[in-house]
Amino acid sequence: QLIAPVTIGEGALIAAGTTVTKNVPPNALGISRVPQINKEGTAAKRRDILASSAAKATPHGDPEGSSPRPNPQLKKDSV
């Protein structure tokens, strides 16, 4: 991922997962690493929120339910 404006020098390499925020000189290896942060309990809270939202939502956004919609491009006798 590049955050413009940056320049990647000729022959430079960028490490996997790196977000480039500064110019990388020629023949250099650009690496960005940030410390890992663990937020205890956050996953459970987010699952609860998603489950609550899913319970309120109508399947596939169809007010009549999740029945398939006919495809006008298919001929009836093409089965």
Q: For residue 26, which amino acid is it?
A: P
Q: Which residue has the higher pLDDT, 21 or 1?
A: 21
**Extended strands (E) in 3-79:** 13-14, 29-30
Rounded to an integer, what is the distance from CA 65 to the centroid of its chain? Answer: 28
pLDDT in tens, 3-49: 889 999 999 999 999 999 999 999 999 999 888 899 999 999 999 99
Q: Is residue 15 part of a domain?
A: yes
Domain count, the chain: 1
The pTM of the full predicted model, rounded to 2 decimals, is 0.47
Spatial separation of the C-alpha atoms in residues 8 and 30, rounded to whole Å:
9
- Which whole-number Å values give the CA distances from 59 to 10, 23, 48, 50, 65, in the listed order? 51, 47, 18, 14, 6
Residue identified by tokens 């093409």 is 78
Q: For residue 39, which amino acid is it?
A: K
Residue 73 pLDDT greater than 60, yes or no: yes
Instruction: Catalogue the long-range contacts made by 1-9 (C-beta closer than 8 Å, 24 or more residues apart).
Output: none
Q: Is residue 23 part of a domain?
A: yes
The pLDDT of residue 28: 98
| Domain containing residue 25 | 1-35
